[in-house]
Structure 1
Amino acid sequence: MSTTIEISEKSHVAGKAKAAMSVAPREGAGWKKGIAIMDFILRLGAIASALGAAAAMATADQTLPFFTQFFQFEAGYDDFPTFQFFVIAMAIAGGYLVLSLPFSIVTIIRPHAVGARLLLIILDTVFLTLSAASGAASAAIVYLAHNGNEDSNWLAICNQFTDFCQATSGAVVASFVAVVFFVVLVIMSALALQKH
């Protein structure tokens, strides 16, 4: 008397397929992980440009002697409320970018984590707006400093305060570099949130 157990081939094949599916990584994890790594690298670049812009503007200062050493003309960022706003806004944006790095690391470890990615896209959009507003307002003041406005009798001061104008112009350019980084970060986060 022999006992044989028959195993149907269907259940054997189904078991192999289930085992293969449990071992295989989730579909789309590769490119989402690549976007997350690129997100982290772009955040480092945005930190450098935002904090560099704030530091360049905060140190923009030049003094010109007039007739004597006691009577001098001085130009500093704190003479312009727009430049003060610029320094504060870019410093806050840089601080946010530093604080966002752990969330960016979470998206590298867990590419399909929606919560961290959604938080980053919302906050990136907010700080994109703040950076663009401060950069655009400061760009208008820098333009007036370089060219003046004859209709309003505003004189161009950059002929005299060349170092001050170079520092403020560089800060504005750095802020727009940070804005470009923010735009790319928002686009990449939107792509990573897609299901397919």
Structure 2
Amino acid sequence: MSTTEAGAATSVTIGDSAPSANGRGKAPLPAPPAAARRSFPFLLRNPKAGGGWKIGVCFFDFVLRLCAVAATLVAAITMGTTRETLPFVTEHFQFHANFTDLPAMLFFVIANGIAAGYLLLSLPFSLAAMVRPHAVGPRLLLFIFDTVMVAFTAAAAASAAAIVYLAHNGSEKANWVGICLRFDGFCQRISGAVVASFIAVVFFMVLVVMSGLVLRKN
């Protein structure tokens, strides 16, 4: 019986490429990239450079708010100072018309006054959105409150418009007689106030659409 001697070879294992049965010797996996940190506060972050078209939209938003302030103030002041007394007096009383005689017109004055105050308070937020056109926080806040003001001022204008219609035309079925033949100045002023309030409603609607457009592009 013959034997064959083979030279002993010494090998050095650098690393096992195949995983073993018990899981030892497995090559380490690369660490996942660290998650991008969000600046605080998140809603005020400005991740992009430059405003582009958003600066123009924010500037128009600021101008439109000034116009809406004027419209709501005109509506509230005009309605709130409307009263008329007829020059003749009967045996028992004198005929007069005042906006406080009708709850709908009183609500109209309060609603437009609140809308004007809100618009004045929203001007700094509109400027902040202009300086940081990609900031989400100020624009989202304006979007929410503008939507509320649309419903608020629209309800006030609609209720006052119904009273103005009855004042001009009356109602034959209800036997209500229009008073504008006698109180002409009163009816002209309340009609102008209602028109100004509806103009403010249109301004609010445009503001909501612009805020939604900017938020969508963010």
TM-score, normalised via structure 1 length = 0.84
Correspondence for 1:101 among 99, 105, 123: 123
Preserved contact between residue 33 and residue 111 of structure 1 (Cα < 8 Å): yes
Q: Which amino acid aligns with 2:214?
A: A
Matches within 5 A, 1:129-168: 129-168=151-190
Correspondence for 1:62 among 84, 93, 102: 84
1:172 pairs with 2:194: yes
Identity of aligned residues (%): 59
How far apart are 1:72 and its partner, in Å?
A: 1.5
Aligned alpha-carbon RMSD (Å): 1.7
How far apart are 1:151 and its partner, in Å?
A: 0.6
1:186 pairs with 2:208: yes
- Higher RCO by CA contacts (8 Å cutoff, separation 6 or greater): 1
Count how many residue pairs are aligned between Structure 1 and Structure 2: 172
Q: What secondary structure is seen at the aligned counterpart in 1 of 2:95? A: strand
Q: What secondary structure is seen at the aligned counterpart in 1 of 2:217? A: coil
Q: Which runs of 5+ in 2 are unaligned?
A: 1-46
Q: Which amino acid aligns with 1:116?
A: P
How far apart are 1:56 and its partner, in Å?
A: 0.4
How far apart are 1:65 and its partner, in Å?
A: 2.8
Correspondence for 1:128 among 150, 153, 158: 150
Q: Which runs of 5+ in 1 are unaligned?
A: 1-24
Rg (Cα) greater in structure? 2
How far apart are 1:195 and its partner, in Å?
A: 2.6
**Deviation by residue 1:125-151 (Cα, 9 ceiling, x = unmatched):** 001100000000000000000000011
